[in-house]
Amino acid sequence: MGSMLFLILGAQILTGVMLTMNYTADEQLAVVSVDYIMRDANYGWIIRSLHMGGASMFFALIYMHIARGVYFGAYLKNTHVWYSGLTLYLLSMGVGFLGYVLPWGVMSYWGLTVITNMMTVIPGGARALDWFQGGFVISTVTLKRVFVLHFLLPFVILGLSLAHVLLLHVNGSSNPLGLDETNFSVPFHPYYSIKDLAGFALLLAGLVGMTFTFASLTADPLQWQPINKMKTPAVIKPEWYFLYAYAILRSIPHKAGGVFTMFAAIAGIAVFPMISSNENFQSMKACPPARLMFVIWVANFMFLTVIGAQEPTGGWVLAGQFGTILHLSALVMIPMIKADWEFYLFMTAQLDEEESVVNDVKRFLGPRLLSN
């Protein structure tokens, strides 16, 4: 899955550079330039659709990659890989958000307004916001710097990805059973080269299929409407890969509380190595109760994604709050359940040993005690 992520990153950088050749970061010209790419530039519609679909694929793969890491306890093998991966995820979220702003549709502008205003919850945040915007309001200046950041950060992600892989090779890859298999490793070629090629084929089939059939599958219809800065849309929502965080943000009635809870939920996987350092078993293969909790966590993640797309009214608010509590508590409960299960397994062994010692003592001393 890591190799598939590398492939998608490469594809995004390549298509992104090609889009840059025709895009103009200006309030008046951004929509015109995107329209030019879609209608007039040679195969521009393919490049743009690949870039849009590629972003969705990238995040889908990231979430599967993280879930695989949690399930097989990869955070226990090498914590540096885990934390570099978390940094990569946060940077990718930034890049994805910045990229969504560039077409300058209704959702682009209002999404930028919502997310950048989160800065105001920290002390000095209002000044920081003006500094980021390049003024007191969002304007062409803001769009230009968003474009520059969206262009530069993927190369930072590329460099950090290489570091991520180098750190991985310090200890080597883990395995699904979480066993000590240093004596049983297989060569990368042909086992994993062919497996990775199969993954690439599947990924490219999905990406190309999406590009040529349902290119706008994940797009919001409001993106095709011109911006009206005087009229806030009834529903502001980000792309699907941010919806779970958006649901958590909206579930807390307090602004700062919502922002901090959202960041805690996003970066919460950082706690896994901290609270799991004494675990004996790496993979959830050895712990059925933790597997159940994991499935609930993943299902809740999907549930939060659905909630994030709804209007925050009625039962959806309560559902969002419930989902938030479940998401945050699962981050702590999964390692705790694993630790409890191990303790139970090894305690049973100790009890068995103690019982067998007691039985031995009874057998040896019994007749003497009875006779005395």
Partner 1 sequence: RDDMRRETPILKEALKRISRQDLEARNFRIARATVLYNAKIELPREQWTELDEDKLYLTPHVEAIKKELKERKDFEKSK
- Catalytic positions are 169, 173, 195-196, 239
Identify which of residues 116 and 282 has a Cβ nearer to partner 1 in the complex.
282
Which DSSP symbol is given to 187? -
Task: Output the smallest distance, CB 69 to partner 1, in A.
Answer: 14
The encoded tokens of residue 309 equal: 């797309």
Identify which of residues 77 and 150 has a Cβ nearer to partner 1 in the complex.
77
Task: Output the smallest distance, CB 361 to partner 1, in A.
Answer: 19
Total of chain residues touching partner 1, rule CB under 8 A: 24
Among 40, 181, 311, 354, which residue sits at the site for partner 1 (rule: CB under 8 A)? Answer: 181
Task: Output the smallest distance, CB 344 to partner 1, in A.
Answer: 11
Binding segment for partner 1 among 125-133, 196-204, 263-271, 273-281 (CB under 8 A)? 273-281
Binding segment for partner 1 among 139-147, 169-177, 304-312, 321-329 (CB under 8 A)? 169-177
Which DSSP symbol is given to 226? P
Which residues in 186-225 contact partner 1 (CB under 8 A)?
Answer: none
- Quick check: 332 and 275 in contact, CB under 8 A? yes
Identify which of residues 267 and 275 has a Cβ nearer to partner 1 in the complex.
275
Query: What is the distance between the alpha carbons of residues 64 and 169, in angstroms, rounded to a whole number?
Result: 21
Identify which of residues 78 and 92 has a Cβ nearer to partner 1 in the complex.
78
76 is an interface residue for partner 1 by CB under 8 A: yes
- Length reported for the chain: 372
Query: What is the distance between the alpha carbons of residues 304 and 321, in angstroms, rounded to a whole number?
Result: 9
182 is an interface residue for partner 1 by CB under 8 A: yes
177 is an interface residue for partner 1 by CB under 8 A: yes
- Quick check: 102 and 52 in contact, CB under 8 A? no
- Quick check: 158 and 9 in contact, CB under 8 A? yes
Which DSSP symbol is given to 24? -
Task: Output the smallest distance, CB 330 to partner 1, in A.
Answer: 22
The encoded tokens of residue 50 equal: 């690949």
Identify which of residues 97 and 341 has a Cβ nearer to partner 1 in the complex.
341
Tell me which residue of 92, 339, 29, 73 sits closest to 239, measured CA to CA: 92
The encoded tokens of residue 171 equal: 């200890």
The encoded tokens of residue 31 equal: 């929509």
Which residues in 82-141 contact partner 1 (CB under 8 A)?
Answer: none
Distance of CA 240 to the CA centre of its chain: 12
Identify which of residues 40 and 353 has a Cβ nearer to partner 1 in the complex.
353
Among 43, 188, 346, 364, which residue sits at the site for partner 1 (rule: CB under 8 A)? Answer: 346
* Residue recorded with tokens 């349902």: 214
- The sign of the dihedral angle between the CA atoms of 353, 354, 355, 359 is positive
Q: Alpha helices of 42-139 — where are they, by DSSP H?
A: 44-71, 74-77, 79-101, 106-116, 125-133
Query: What is the distance between the alpha carbons of residues 101 and 111, in angstroms, rounded to a whole number?
Result: 8
Query: What is the distance between the alpha carbons of residues 84 and 92, in angstroms, rounded to a whole number?
Result: 12
Among 73, 96, 105, 273, which residue sits at the site for partner 1 (rule: CB under 8 A)? Answer: 73
Which DSSP symbol is given to 277? T
Binding segment for partner 1 among 55-63, 69-77, 289-297, 331-339 (CB under 8 A)? 69-77
In the stretch 276-315, what mask flags binding to partner 1 with x, by CB under 8 A? Answer: ---xxxx---x-----------------------------
Task: Output the smallest distance, CB 285 to partner 1, in A.
Answer: 8
Among 348, 354, 357, 359, which residue sits at the site for partner 1 (rule: CB under 8 A)? Answer: 348
- Quick check: 35 and 23 in contact, CB under 8 A? no
The encoded tokens of residue 351 equal: 């009890």
Among 162, 256, 349, 357, which residue sits at the site for partner 1 (rule: CB under 8 A)? Answer: 349
Binding site for partner 1 (CB under 8 A): 73, 76-77, 175-184, 279-282, 286, 345-346, 348-349, 352-353
